[in-house]
Amino acid sequence: MTSLPRPTEVQPRHFDGQRFYNQAPFQERGFLDFLKWKLFSGGTQWPVWIESEPQLVPEQRVSGDRLSVTFVNHSTVLIQYQGINILTDPIWNHRASPLTILGPKRVRRPGLRLDDLPPIDLVLITHNHYDHLDIETIKLLAERGSPIVVTGRGNTPVLQEAGLETIQELDWWESFQYQAPNIVFTPTQHFSGRGLFDKRKSLWGGFVIASPAGNVYFSGDTGVGPHHAQLRARFKEFRVAFLPIGAYEPRWFMKAAHMNPAEAVEAHQLLNANVSIGIHFGTFANLTDEGIEQPLKDLAEALTNIGVDPRRFVTLGFGETRDDL
């Protein structure tokens, strides 16, 4: 297994030698807050199962300046661009959890079968929460073709468990050149942790796929912070932005780390995105309190209230491909 060298070894200002922290003030929520939420908040019941058939990826490669994107589920998107196949935060597991019998359980199949994926060149991992870094899925991807995994600092040890051959760790604003595009790791307003004692010991973030043919932004989980304005200042505009629209209730618990749909629409405007695509919804029950359809309803209402053309901020069906972006 190879861990590629990081571009620099300078200790960043958002790292104190033990833990990473956000650019803006961030209200930490501890175990007592978690208990208060679970004991006293009234979550909306999700369906036990939604029957649906996986779709097929239309092409193995997309050449030239064409851009094709396929929404698989949750934050898993297949991005085919500049001749490269990129997969984000892949999860095909039946639970977003370290346990097989407890934790958020999926209510529908992934939009694509893992075996139907084209060859994957790059896997982008935004952070190490279980619904974004799923070891069982990573193991299956490694068996299929050993893609390069690009992620934030501190995530190599858990990824090595999956038998990956090449891992590229990045700090915020560092980049990794793969063929033509430049893959830039960017700040978000969030946190990391897979257990009780490792909170903020690895870095979280988003990704920009930077290209003269148009920049693509993939946000990890995030609350409102200064990073969207920073991205606009650095990259000017985005051909496509993938923004989370789910997992936002109750607001007193989730607001610091998860945007709601109205905040996602405001981020779309800040980013100067030609088209934004909503992700992080409709897959795993009991992640948060809103109902399965609420993110879509709240997104439609926010677009009307803020005055954004609904063709500029869309969602895709599970397994749906768009290649007209």
DSSP 264-278: HHHHHHHHTEEEEEE
Task: Name residue 309's amino acid.
Answer: D
pLDDT in tens, 146-199: 899 999 999 999 999 888 879 999 999 999 999 999 999 999 999 999 998 899
pLDDT at position 204, please? 98
pLDDT at position 146, please? 85
Residues 6+ apart with CB under 8 A from 297: none
pLDDT at position 5, please? 55
Cβ atoms of residues 217 and 207 within 8 Å? yes
Point out the residues of the chain with pLDDT beneath 50.
1
pLDDT at position 210, please? 98
From CA 292, how far away is CA 300, in angstroms rounded?
15
pLDDT at position 3, please? 56
Residue 80's alpha-carbon distances to 67, 161, 283, 325, in angstroms, are 6, 27, 23, 11
Place of tokens 């700040």: 187
pLDDT at position 106, please? 97
Domains of the chain, residue spans: 35-316
From CA 162, how far away is CA 92, in angstroms rounded?
15
Q: What is the 3-state secondary structure (H, E, C) of the chain?
A: CEEECCCCCCCCCCECCCCECCCCCCCCCCHHHHHHHHHHCCCCCCCCCCCCCCECCCCCCCCCCCEEEEEEECCEEEEEECCEEEEECCCCCCECCCCCCCCCEECCCCCECHHHCCCCCEEEECCCCCCCCCHHHHHHHHHHHCCEEEEECCCHHHHHCCCCCEEEEECCCCEEECCCCEEEEECCCCCCCCCCCCCCCCCCCEEEEECCCCCEEECCCCCCCCHHHHHHHHHCCEEEEEEECCCCCCHHHHCCCCCCHHHHHHHHHHHCEEEEEEECCCCECCCCCCCCCHHHHHHHHHHHHHCCCCCCEECCCCCCEECCC
Can you give the pTM of this predicted structure?
Answer: 0.95
Pairing of strands 148-152, 166-170: parallel
Distance, C-alpha 33 to centroid of its chain: 25
Superfamily in which the 35-316 domain is placed by CATH: Ribonuclease Z/Hydroxyacylglutathione hydrolase-like (3.60.15.10)
Report percent pLDDT > 70 for the chain. 97
Nearest Cα to Cα of residue 224 among 183, 175, 269? 269
Residue 187's alpha-carbon distances to 13, 168, 221, 228, 230, in angstroms, are 13, 17, 11, 9, 9
